[in-house]
């Protein structure tokens, strides 16, 4: 059975998005590194998932010196 890689990535992103939103609801403000550790993914993957949530209008990014902070809108 052939499964399109884009479909698999979409399913994984949705699962990660829900985990990220649950984490932010619990912690109120999180860093990219905290999200990466929570999801057990690289910092780059966590950042990509977080930016997708910003584009979707679900979270806000706050840029501080040396760290990105993320919170619900």
CATH number of the structural domain 5-72: 1.10.10.10
pLDDT at 1 exceeding the cut of 50: no
pLDDT score at 15: 85
Kindly write down the DSSP assignment for every residue of 2-70, as one continuous string.
---HHHHHHHHHHHHHHHHHHHHHHHSEEEHHHHHHHHTS-HHHHHHHHHHHHHTTSEEEEEETTEEEE
pLDDT score at 52: 92
pLDDT at 8 exceeding the cut of 60: no
pLDDT class for 13, splitting at 50, 70, 90? low
Q: What does the domain layout of the chain look like in residue ranges? A: 5-72
Q: Is the dihedral of CA 9, 17, 62, 44 positive or negative?
A: negative
30-46 pLDDT tens trace: 999 999 999 999 999 99
Q: Which DSSP symbol is given to 72?
A: E
């Amino acid at each position: 059975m052939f499964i399109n890689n884009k479909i698999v990535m979409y399913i994984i992103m949705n699962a990660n998005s829900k985990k990220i939103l649950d984490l932010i609801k619990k912690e109120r403000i999180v860093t990219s590194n905290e999200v990466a550790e929570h999801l057990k993914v690289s910092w780059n993957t966590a950042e990509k998932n977080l930016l997708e949530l910003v584009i979707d209008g679900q979270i806000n990014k706050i840029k501080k010196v040396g760290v990105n902070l993320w919170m619900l809108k």
